[in-house]
């Protein structure tokens, strides 16, 4: 799977968090970038899974010389144990070209506050800027350092009880992939439409602040 040096990796969810971020990424008016859409379907038969495939969509931001600058991978949601098989397959495809660069993965997760332990700050319905933690894995890259300069690292006591995050964390550590997780807490007011928009907006601001596209 051909990708850019920076890959934003998303998991599709029922709340629409991933699709909102993916759709909101657009080249700046002054930019020469174009957006190219693609999709993927990867067999999981090697894992003994015949009724499902690892599928999702891919969006590439390409400059006027044909160079890939940023790739957005939006993968379908899977429950364990299929999750680990599908994620392993997709990550292997992303890093298959050993002669080329190893991409930096930027992976945003919006986690319910009840699943974030060891942090005293709890979100309120009137939060203007929900707190985002940045977790760096693997070799440091320019974009990772730029994000670290602005985003708070989590305290050592922080524990995130989220299966998809735990699975992703395991694979990138084993595969030694440079990865930056952006962890935001979802407030308890999930039925509030403006709060949902606010939570997604802070991630978009975080990405766009560093001129990713």
Range of the domain at 204: 6-208
Average pLDDT over residues 98-114: 84
Quickly state the pLDDT bin for 76 (edges 50, 70, 90): very high
Q: Which of residues 7 and 117 earns the better pLDDT score?
A: 7
pLDDT greater than 50 at residue 69: yes
| DSSP track, 14-71 | TT-HHHHHHHH----TT---EEEEEEEEEE-GGGT--S-EEEEEEEEEE-TTS-EEEE
pLDDT greater than 80 at residue 159: yes
Average pLDDT over the chain reads 82
Is 1 a member of any domain?
A: no
Is 17 a member of any domain?
A: yes
Is 71 a member of any domain?
A: yes
What's the CATH code of the domain at 30? Answer: 3.40.50.10900
Is 13 a member of any domain?
A: yes
pLDDT greater than 90 at residue 123: no
Quickly state the pLDDT bin for 29 (edges 50, 70, 90): confident
Quickly state the pLDDT bin for 186 (edges 50, 70, 90): confident
Is 157 a member of any domain?
A: yes
**Residue 177, Cα to own-chain centre: how many angstroms?**
14
Is 213 a member of any domain?
A: no
Tally the domains of the chain: 1
């Amino acid at each position: 799977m051909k990708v850019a040096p920076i890959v934003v990796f998303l998991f599709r969810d029922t709340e629409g968090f991933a699709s909102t971020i993916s759709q909101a990424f657009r080249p700046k008016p002054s930019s020469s970038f174009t957006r190219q859409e693609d999709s993927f379907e990867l067999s999981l038969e090697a894992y003994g899974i015949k009724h499902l495939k690892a599928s999702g969509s891919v969006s590439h931001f390409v400059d006027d010389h044909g160079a890939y600058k940023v790739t957005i991978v939006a993968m379908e949601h899977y429950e364990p144990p299929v999750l680990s098989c599908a994620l392993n397959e997709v990550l292997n495809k992303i890093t298959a070209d050993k002669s080329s660069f190893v991409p930096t993965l930027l992976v945003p997760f919006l986690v319910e506050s009840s699943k974030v332990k060891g942090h005293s700050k709890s979100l309120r319905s009137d939060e203007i800027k929900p707190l985002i933690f940045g977790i760096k894995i693997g070799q440091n890259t320019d974009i990772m350092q730029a994000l670290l300069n602005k985003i708070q690292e989590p305290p050592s006591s922080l524990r995130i009880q989220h299966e998809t995050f735990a699975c992703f964390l395991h694979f990138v550590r084993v595969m030694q992939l440079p990865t930056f997780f952006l962890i935001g807490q979802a407030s308890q007011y999930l039925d509030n439409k403006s709060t949902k928009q606010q939570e997604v907006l802070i991630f978009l601001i975080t990405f766009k602040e560093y001129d990713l596209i």
